[in-house]
Each structure stands twice: as structure tokens, then as C-alpha cells.
Amino acid sequence: MLDVEVAREQMAEERSKLEELQIVQALAQPKELPALPAIAVRVMQITSDPKAKLPDLKRMIETDEALASKVLKFSNSALYGRAGRVSTLTAAITALGFLTVRWLAVTASAHTLFRKSGGGDPDHAGLWEHSLKCATTSRILAKRIGTGQDIEEAFVAGLLHDIGKLAILDKLPGYISRFCQWCEALSVEFSQVEVDVIGVDHSEVSGHVFELWNMPPSLSDAVSHHHSPQMAKVNRSMAEILWTANEFFPMEGCGHPSPTDEELATLPLMLKHNMNERDVAAIKEETMSRYSELSDLLR
């Protein structure tokens, strides 16, 4: 582990470099933030238009071969309980429903985005794995809690809650691994190191990205506060779900050891909804099995 003094010196050095580069100012500008692929934007527009009909959505999806094949693949997957019976796009959209096609378009686009900006480097790979696990856990929690939270929205929020880290990684390659060493040396949270060194933390940047993408304001609020759910004003229960999912599957190697099942069972959301250690184990198991299915389907 790094010595505390060495960590402080390295942080001061990086801080002055970033001040020169005006990184905070850059991260506040829409043109500097990741863009949601156009196909996802169009699918989101169509699926949120109450007058839109199935042929409109089908025509849109047909324009993107990769998405069309994923829609077919998903509609035939075990994840949706239909093994190999759907052969046309119309039947696939009918089987999945507009809402599922919507999150699928966002998920497939996010996958492209994470891969495009990073290739195979450990920070991007670790971030994608963490994001997909958090998405899956968030969806499971939303379903179990059943507070009227849309479960597919919980998935999308979980998948993209750390999009701010992706935006920062584009500017500061390898920053996650570097900052994690400092977290560990100083025994502080990752967000705290970001604020100290960069001047802004990734959850704030995630909120900007969500606003830029015209995501529902309740989701922007939840992702902006995924490390401080008590501060969420519009959608505190979604922010609590995201925070809890992060506790279940923290990013590996970041000085924050994974809590035990016993500890997870005492998190506020778990206590509030009478979930115990058995539920924790079941949620973890379901997450891992869905995570591997999803990884395969997205490949």
C-alpha cells in the first residue's frame, strides 16, 4: 500500500496538472461528455410517444443491424423465458414489449460506448463489469421492493449510474486505478479523492450526462445522488436502490472490501423491506446468473 505522505504528494501533483488543463470546466461542457448513440435516442423518443405504433418502432430498429439482431436474440433468450421460437422482428418486439426494447436499446448502446472509449484496459473493463452487476441488482431490488419503481428504469439507472466515471476516464486515462490507490492509503471514499483532486465527483458528472441525454428528471436525480441518497429530492427510493446495489457489488480493487452478507442485511433498504441474510444470498446469486447471461447476450 502507498505511504500516506507519498499519496498526498502524488495527489497534489495531479491536482495542479488538472487545474492547468481546466478539467472541471471541460466536464461541464456538453460537447466534452459522452454522447448516447443516435439509435438509442430515437428508440427512446418512439417508445415514449403514446401515439407510436409497433411498425414505427420496427422500422427504426431495422435501421440498426446490430440492435435488430440483439432484439431477436433477447426475445429468444432464457432470460425472457422463450427459447428459440421468435424469428421475426415484429414478433420479437411484441414478445418483449416497448419498455424492454427501450432498455435493450440503451443497454446495447451503453455496451458500445464503454467498449469504444476504452478497449480492453482494466479501468474500462472493471467499470463495465461493476455497472452491469449494479444494473442487475438494482432491477432485482426494484422488483422485490415493488414500490412502483419501474424495474427496467432501475436497470438503466444501475447500468449508467457511473457514466460520470466514463466521462472522466476519457479525459484522464487510468484515473480509477490511480485514485483507488490514494483512497486506500488515506482510508477515504473514492468520491472524496475525486473532489480533492479534480474538483468534482463522478456522480455529479453522471447527473450532467443524464440531463444531456434527456433522461427522465427522476433518474438524473437518482444517479446524481447514488452515493448520497439522503440528498435526493425527486426519486430517493431509486437513489437508495443504486446505493445499495453499489454496496452489494463495489468496484474491485478500490480499497473498499466487499461487505459480508451479514453486513449487507443491515443496510437501511434491506431493513426497511424486511430482507435478511437469506435474501442477500438469493439476490447475489440471481445477480451473478443474470450477469453471465447478459454478458453472453451482449457479446
Residues that bind Fe ion (CB under 5 A): 162, 246
To Fe ion, the closest distance from the beta carbon of 264 in angstroms equals: 15
To Fe ion, the closest distance from the beta carbon of 130 in angstroms equals: 6
Per-residue b or e along 3-15, where b marks 16 or more CB atoms closer than 10 Å to that residue's CB: eeeebeebbeebe
CA-to-CA distance for 179 and 6, rounded, in angstroms? 13
To Fe ion, the closest distance from the beta carbon of 66 in angstroms equals: 26
Which residue has the CB atom at the shortest distance from Fe ion?
Answer: 162
* 3 state SS of 280: helix
CA-to-CA distance for 239 and 243, rounded, in angstroms? 6
To Fe ion, the closest distance from the beta carbon of 226 in angstroms equals: 6
Nearer to Fe ion, 64 or 201 (CB): 201
**Measuring CA to CA, which residue among 107, 126, 140 is closest to residue 40?**
107
To Fe ion, the closest distance from the beta carbon of 158 in angstroms equals: 9
CA-to-CA distance for 116 and 99, rounded, in angstroms? 26
CA-to-CA distance for 206 and 224, rounded, in angstroms? 6
To Fe ion, the closest distance from the beta carbon of 251 in angstroms equals: 6
Question: Would you give the distance in Å from CA 233 to the centre of its chain?
Answer: 20
Residues in Cβ contact with 281 at an 8 Å cutoff, skipping those fewer than 6 apart: 261
Nearer to Fe ion, 74 or 190 (CB): 190
Nearer to Fe ion, 152 or 162 (CB): 162
Nearer to Fe ion, 27 or 101 (CB): 27
Q: What are the helix (H) ranges across the chain?
A: 4-21, 23-27, 38-47, 54-62, 65-75, 89-96, 98-118, 122-145, 151-160, 163-171, 175-186, 190-197, 202-212, 217-224, 236-248, 261-264, 268-272, 277-298
Nearer to Fe ion, 14 or 194 (CB): 194
Nearer to Fe ion, 76 or 206 (CB): 206
